[in-house]
């Protein structure tokens, strides 16, 4: 069955692409349904999501220990993952720093090729630290 470490590795693989600044299509292989559901309910295709991150630098993603995994299906292997990430980044245009805790709710599936992919990637909450800049979507 899909493990916590496999899911966290998938997340890190995606964030590495996000930080790189490459075209959003470079992350397509990590998704069944390419795109991100933002906390405000907006659906962002991969390139607009990537464009948003190009305005940022020094991104840090750090998992909190507590997370939950709920098995949704055994064939195909599919789970719901809920966790929280400490996320920081500098807004290039202003130099202001974003410091936040981001709730992540993902549906992850093991595909026929054995690779994990996001079926649904939802950053379902942002909690900004006192004095933090705010990300504009």
Asked if residue 27 is part of any domain, the answer here is: yes
Residue 134 is assigned to a structural domain of this protein: no
Give the pLDDT means over successive 10-residue stretches in the chain (137 positions): 95 95 95 93 93 94 93 97 97 96 97 97 94 89
Residue 30 structure tokens: 């990590």
**Residue 91 domain-assigned (yes or no):** yes
Cβ–Cβ < 8 Å for 77, 69? no
Q: What angle do CA 97, 93, 28 make, to 5 degrees?
A: 80
Within-domain flag for 59 = yes
Q: Give the per-residue pLDDT at 124.
A: 92
**pLDDT for position 112:** 96
Q: Which domain range does residue 16 map to?
A: 4-128
Q: Does residue 135 sit within a domain?
A: no
The closest of 43, 47, 44 to 25, measured between CA atoms, is 47
The total number of structural domains in the chain stands at: 1
Residue at 108 is within a domain: yes
CB contact burial 4-40 (16+ within 10 A = b; e otherwise):
eebbbebbeebbebbbeeeebeebeebbeebbbbbee
Q: What is the domain-level CATH number for residue 41?
A: 3.10.450.50
Residue 128's closest CA among 73, 74, 91? 91
Would you say residue 136 lies in a domain? no
Q: Is residue 16 part of a domain?
A: yes
């Amino acid at each position: 069955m899909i493990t916590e470490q496999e899911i966290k590795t998938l997340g890190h693989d995606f964030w590495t692409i996000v930080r790189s600044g490459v075209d959003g299509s470079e992350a397509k292989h990590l998704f069944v349904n390419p795109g991100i559901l933002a906390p405000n309910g907006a659906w962002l295709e991969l390139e607009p999501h990537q464009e948003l991150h190009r305005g940022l630098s020094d991104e840090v993603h750090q998992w909190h220990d507590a997370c939950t995994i709920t098995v949704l299906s055994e064939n195909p292997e599919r789970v719901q993952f809920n966790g929280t990430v400490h996320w920081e980044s500098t807004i290039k245009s202003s130099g202001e720093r974003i410091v936040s805790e981001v709730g992540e709710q993902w549906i992850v599936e093991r595909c026929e090729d054995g690779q994990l992919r996001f079926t649904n990637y939802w950053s379902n909450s942002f909690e900004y630290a006192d004095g933090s800049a705010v990300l504009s979507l």
